[in-house]
């Protein structure tokens, strides 16, 4: 009986949509468009600086935005909100799009400059997106699948520290 229950579970799992991908874009306090800002000629690294040790790509400071928006579209209500936060020394509370649990070891810098690994492999064609959503799967299976393809280490302790 046990294998029948197990089999039914597998079939059911195969039919359920993967909750980890194709989620709707989350609410963002300011409607920032990657498409529009790539068109202006900005590069990913100008806003996502990956400070040492490189675990996080990070979000830009309001000062990075205000370098242009002190004049560009200054009349827009969205830019006025941005300018207001900047003046008060506050950050924009961006809603996270991609998150993995804290207890998983992940480092952005370790994945940079690696042959055949780009931002788009893990985040999709961001430069063409007006809004971002979790369009790429970054589950354990997805991590391990790429590691297998690229001959990167796949032992459990590579991504999970021993406790």
- Residue 130 CB, nearest distance to ligand HEC (Å)? 9
Tokens of 111: 């994945």
User: Residue 130, by phi and psi: left (phi above 0), alpha (psi -120 to 50) or beta?
Assistant: alpha
Distance CA 136, CA 142 (A): 9
Question: Which residues contact residue 64 at a Cβ distance below 8 angstroms, ignoring those fewer than 6 apart?
Answer: 46, 47
Torsion of CA 34, 98, 54, 151, to 10 degrees: -110
- Residue 80 CB, nearest distance to ligand HEC (Å)? 9
8 vs 105 by CB, closer to ligand HEC = 105
Tokens of 53: 């040790």
- Residue 4 CB, nearest distance to ligand HEC (Å)? 24
21 vs 44 by CB, closer to ligand HEC = 44
- Residue 1 CB, nearest distance to ligand HEC (Å)? 25
- Residue 11 CB, nearest distance to ligand HEC (Å)? 20
Residues near ligand HEC (CB under 6 A): 28, 30-32, 34, 36-38, 40, 42, 44, 46-48, 56-60, 64-65, 67-69, 72-73, 76, 78-79, 82, 94, 96-101, 104-106, 108, 110-111, 114, 117, 119, 121-123, 126-127, 132, 138-140, 142-144, 146-147, 150, 152-154, 156, 158-160
21 vs 37 by CB, closer to ligand HEC = 37
Q: How many CB atoms lie within 10 A of CB 53?
A: 10
Tokens of 63: 């000062």
């Amino acid at each position: 009986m046990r294998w029948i229950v197990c089999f039914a579970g597998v079939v059911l799992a195969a039919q359920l949509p993967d909750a980890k991908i194709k989620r709707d874009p989350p609410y963002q306090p300011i409607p920032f468009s990657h498409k529009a800002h790539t068109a202006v000629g900005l590069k990913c690294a100008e806003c996502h600086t990956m400070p040492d040790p490189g675990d996080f790509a990070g979000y830009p400071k309001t000062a990075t935005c205000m370098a242009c928006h002190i004049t560009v579209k200054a009349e827009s209500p969205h830019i006025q909100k941005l300018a207001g936060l900047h003046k008060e020394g506050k950050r924009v509370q961006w809603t996270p799009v991609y998150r993995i649990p804290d207890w998983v070891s992940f480092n952005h810098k370790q994945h940079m400059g690696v042959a055949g690994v780009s931002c788009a492999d893990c985040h999709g064609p961001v430069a063409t997106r007006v809004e971002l959503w979790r369009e790429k799967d970054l589950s354990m299976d997805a991590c391990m699948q790429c590691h297998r393809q690229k001959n990167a280490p796949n032992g459990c302790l590579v991504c999970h520290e021993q406790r």
